[in-house]
Structure 1
Amino acid sequence: MSVEIKEYLEKGAVVLDVRTQQEWNEGHIAGAKHIVLNLIPAEVDQIKAWKKPVIAVCRSGGRSGQATQFLKQNGVDVINGGPWGNVAQHIK
């Protein structure tokens, strides 16, 4: 898992945090994009417009897993980064 995260970060991936606004406010990865999970379908065109690979994160990996599945079905190059803290430790 962490090897994949590292590879994606090296490719210039965007970290997409799908947690609630309250969770985001409590702490997040600097430079990450924040789109709450239930808004992902409405924002899929915006996400595609980034033209970058995506690492989805949340608190435990469940919601980011759902976001990853949806985005993959819509042609986005995405992996589930799991808990945002896991990905944060790979960012310098």
Structure 2
Amino acid sequence: MGFFDFLFGNKTRKIEDFRNRGAVIVDVRSKGEYESGAIPGSKNIPLQNISSKMGEIKSWDKPVITCCASGMRSASAAGILRTNGVEAMNGGGWFSLSQKL
């Protein structure tokens, strides 16, 4: 286990585990940001809409990997989802996450 794995956990391994269990990738950037480039197959739910879409997200009955531009909004979104009983992780910036998939 490397130093950063020790500090932050092995994100790549966790992403792989989530994906193996059918995780949905939720991109929490604005519609305009999402349309300028995104992970194929991801769902665009802007951060400010996460709470109002909670019923829909829960109905998927799947783990969720959140992403945004840098990882800040996706961290907030993952926290909101976990607080509401959804298994979620912050995937960080969408482009970086796409390289791990």
TM-score of the alignment, normalized to the shorter chain, above 0.5: yes
Count of aligned residue pairs for this structure pair = 91
Which runs of 5 or more residues in structure 1 are unaligned?
A: none
Between the aligned partners of 2:82 and 2:72, the Cα distance in structure 1 is 15
SS at the partner of 2:13?
A: helix
CA RMSD of aligned residues (A): 0.8
Match of 1:5 in 2: 15
SS in 1 for 2:67: strand
Letter in 1 for 2:74: S
Question: Which has the greater radius of gyration?
Answer: 2
What TM-score results when the alignment is normalised by the length of structure 1? 0.94
What TM-score do you get using the length of structure 2 for normalisation? Answer: 0.86
Structure 1 residue 30 displacement after superposition:
0.7
Q: Point out which structure has higher relative CO (alpha carbons under 8 A, 6+ apart).
A: 1
Structure 2, unmatched stretches of 5+, are 1-10
- Give the 4+ runs in structure 1 shifted more than 4 A: none
